[in-house]
Structure 1
Amino acid sequence: MNRADAPPFPFSLGLAGALSLACFMGFGRFSFTPILPGMMADLGLSAGDAGLIAAANFAGYLAGAFLAAGTWAQGMERRIVMAALTLTAALLGAMALVSSLSAFMAIRFLAGLASAFGLVFTSALVLSAARGDARVQAMHFGGVGFGIALSAFVSFVAVPLLGAEPPHWRSEWLAGAGLVLAAGAAILFLLPKGQGTAGRGGAEPPMLWTGAMLRLILSYAFFGFGYVVAGTFLVVMAREGASGHSVEFLCWLISGLAGMVSLFLWQPMLSTRGVNTTYRLALALEALGSVAMVLLPAAIAPVIGGLLFGGTFIVVTAYALQIGRALSPESPRRVMALMTAGFGIGQIVGPVAAGHLVDLTGDYLLASLIAAAVLGLGALVAPGRGSH
């Protein structure tokens, strides 16, 4: 098919997915990262405390992913998405109103639930309506990066310019809540009204257990452990490295911008080398980013680390799930549930372990190097081309 014969790009469909994931993931999940340094400074939170708050969010996400994988929601996907958007905005606002570790953990656990429901059911609606259009898929998942980039602008530019009194972190949470509510109006108009793929088809056959599947689940669990060190502490590392306000802003902004375009940029590699090789290379580059964050000069380390983090983590997720579906095509929900379980355990343990290591050693060197080693191990154990 030549370019003239290609079907028109359903931009509004991709925009619905992008805005939704910007809210659920970019703000509901990842805006914690640029806000965290201010919370730590104002409230005296340790790296271990921050790791516990992050782990609570990831535990909520894991629970939500399992709940969303059932058949109970058939026909209700759109209503669930809008309810989850409203809950996400409320929980972002609630973070500005409390100060205790236990309250932060409870709110972030519920936010994780809302993020998982939003991701699963928005993806069911948008990707089903897209009918395999890779452009919609790339735009949809690129919304995570857009949300991250926008959260950088909110935390480092908009809130200070609006005259909020320091510390700014409470205003940053409230600004995020307002943006999610505003985006919700557009999402309500754009989101497809049809039924998603979630919940169709009744019970799936048992998953095909192969050596390649076991290696993929293990690799994806290692990814869950390794990526959250950057995903949680990148901006804190920039601040504690005395890199300056502009570097803190740039490292998170670049992470988001790289995430926005990552699936488009990796497409040539995917076309020429295949999904397995591309997945392994993305893991290896993310490991390199974890090393860069602690071994390069402080003025550039967070920026390079943020670029490699943003340019790979969405790619790793998308391609891992693609490999899993190919290994057991008749059981996509079971595959996603088991892969999510492995990933979820990794990303819950990761920030807790990293936070305690930072408290013990006084810096992020050992935690980042361990994260890099685990990511590298994930690349090594991942199934190669032609695995079955």
Structure 2
Amino acid sequence: MARNQPNSLAVGGLAALAAGLGVGRFVYTPILPGMMADLGLTGGQAGLIASANFVGYLAGALAAALPIPGSRRLVLAACLGVSCLTTLAMAGLSDFWAMMAVRFIGGFASAGVLVLASGLVLERSAARGDKRAPGILFAGVGVGIALSALLVLIVEQAGLDWRTDWLLTGLVSILLAGMAVAKIDEEPPRQAARQPAKARFSGGLAPLVLAYGLFGLGYVVTATFLVAIIRADPKLWAIEPYTWFLVGASAAFSVTLWLVIAARQGTLVAFAAACIIEAIGVGASAAVATEAGMLLAAVLLGGTFMGITALGLVAARERISGNPQRLLAVMTVAFSVGQIVGPSAAGHLHDVTGDFTLASYGAAGALVLAALFALLAQGLSRPAAKV
């Protein structure tokens, strides 16, 4: 095989996560304030639309845990196609229930993209000894977030509305999806047949999965409502156009950094440290309602949440022999359960209290608990495979 093939595969994974998650999942955050203003959505309704996406994500993760006949690459391509179409479809919707349905379908597709793309890249790069691939792969979400933030800013400065946001980002996601399918080549023949019939896990599964679920709950409140929090405070309006881009840019560069830390300190020790740092950022979004506080929250959120996502999946991959697809799906299920609870609860707390302060403090607490369970998992297990 050519020397550059593993990196080509990782670049394909980057493009897949940029399309299916960076745009498909997270573009809702910068578009949300315009939707709320134009459609008269309450915080509770906005949270329910976000939660519908995460319920779909849960369903997609459960489906991804099932054996996939034939080529995983083709199924990944189908998931990418559905994600792109649902992003485009949001431009034509005004009905609350229709938006929930479309975001549910989009969430289903996003989970398939994450599980399949990360499974293919992590599994095959580990076999080839490519240690750079995870950093390249998971940078895709940050790249997608930063790119979509720039597109939303361009649309806003052009005086166009939130429907144009969905159309433009949907078209860009199609380009990214095409790049992903072109870069992720077909799996080697009979590869699946050579793998053990049953994957073996080395121990510490329960606290690892629980830590990942608590992380999903802890990050999602700020990740969903950060721009809306800023939009609600006139003294913060000056930084609104740049905050979500800062989240994405920080995320894109953070994954490799956290993987380097993990290589020196241990994957789950790095996971725990990142959760504590993110908890500080989430708490800052509520406690320090200034431009500096919000920019700090953006950097700490972006600088950790994709690193934690990567570290959790890499930790699972380190602790299993054989095909990691089912365990990656279980991790994604736990993550998505936390995401389902977070936006809906935060939205309703906003409607009761008038802001996201209480929800943000609760999210920070969940991240601290995630760190503690990650350290417990570290104590109960030993890596079974190296990534």
> What TM-score do you get using the length of structure 1 for normalisation?
0.89
- Alpha carbons of structure 1 residues 142 and 218: separation in structure 2 relative to 1, 3 Å: same
The whole-number CA distance in structure 1 between the counterparts of 2:308 and 2:318 is 15
1:336 is the counterpart of 2:331 = no
- Contact residue 213 and residue 337 of structure 2 kept, 8 A: yes
- In structure 1, the residue matched to 2:12 is 16
Q: Any residues of structure 2 matched to 1:129-208 within 5 Å, and which?
A: 129-130=124-125, 131-156=128-153, 158-164=154-160, 168-195=161-188, 201=195, 203-204=197-198
Q: How far apart, in 1, do the equivalents of 2:189 and 2:296 lie? A: 38
Going from structure 1 to structure 2, the CA distance change for 1:66 and 1:195 (only over 3 Å counts) comes to: farther
Give CA-to-partner distance per residue, 1:91-145, whole Å, 9 cap, x none: 1111111111111110000001111122222233433443341212211110100
Q: Which of residues 87, 91, 95 in structure 2 aligns to 1:96?
A: 91
SS of the residue aligned with 1:134?
Answer: coil
- Deviation, structure 1 residue 35: 0.4
Contact 1:216 1:381 (C-alpha < 8 Å) held by counterparts: yes
2:270 maps to 1:278? yes
Secondary structure of the structure 2 residue equivalent to 1:182? helix
One of 211, 223, 234 as aligned partner of 1:231 = 223
1:243–1:329 Cα change, 3 Å: farther
Q: Please name the residue that 1:48 is paired with.
A: 44
Do the aligned partners of 2:199 and 2:321 also contact (CA within 8 Å) in 1? no
Q: Closer, same or farther in 2 for the Cα pair 1:199/1:162, shift >3 Å?
A: farther
Give the aligned partner of residue 81 of structure 1. Answer: 76
Q: Secondary structure at the match of 1:312?
A: helix
Once the two structures are superposed, residues 306-342 of structure 1 have per-residue CA deviations (whole angstroms, 9 ceiling, x without a partner) of 1111111112122222333444445734433332332
Q: Is the 8 A contact 2:216 2:339 kept in 1?
A: yes
User: Is 1:108 the equivalent of 2:103?
Assistant: yes
In the other structure, the counterpart of 2:31 is 35
Shift of residue 8, structure 1, vs aligned partner: 5.7
- The match for 1:3 is none
Deviating more after overlay: 317-326 vs 272-281: 317-326
- Alpha-carbon distance in structure 1 between the residues aligned to 2:210 and 2:176: 37
Deviations 1:251-299 (A, max 9, x none): 2111101111112222442232211211100111111111111111421
The structure 2 residue matched to 1:380, chosen from 354, 372, 379, is 372
Task: For 1:268 and 1:186, locate their aligned partners in 2 and report how far apart those are by CA, in whole Å.
Answer: 27
Question: What code does the residue aligned with 1:154 have?
Answer: L
Correspondence for 2:55: 59
Q: Which moved more, 1:119-128 or 1:301-310?
A: 119-128
Q: Aligned equivalents of 1:305 and 1:315: distance in 2?
A: 16
Can you give the 5+ residue segments of structure 2 that lack an aligned partner in the other structure?
382-387
Over 3 Å counting, the alpha-carbon distance change for 1:105 and 1:190 in structure 2 is same
1:196 and 1:144, CA in 2 relative to 1: closer, same or farther beyond 3 A? farther
User: Distance between the aligned counterparts of 1:376 and 1:196, measured in 2?
Assistant: 44
State the number of aligned residues.
375
Structure 2 CA distance for aligned equivalents of residues 286 and 196 of structure 1: 42
TM-fit CA distance, 1:90: 1.5
Higher mean alpha-carbon deviation, 330-339 vs 174-183, is at 330-339
Matched-pair contact (CA < 8 Å) for 1:224–1:344: yes
Verify the 8 A CA contact 2:56 2:107 in the aligned structure 1.
yes
Kept after mapping to 2: 8 A contact 1:235/1:302? no
CA shift, 1:176, in A, is 0.9
TM-score by length of 2: 0.89
Identity across the alignment (%): 40
2:295 matches 1:300: no
Amino acid at match of 2:122: L
* Uncovered stretches (5+) of structure 1, i.e. residues with no partner: 1-6
Structure 1's 360 and 198: CA in aligned 2 closer, same or farther, altered over 3 A? farther
Tell which deviates more after alignment, 182-191 or 41-50. 182-191
Q: Indicate whether 1:312 and 2:308 are aligned.
A: no
Give the AA of the match of 1:253: F
- Distance in 2 of aligned mates of 1:290 and 1:145: 18
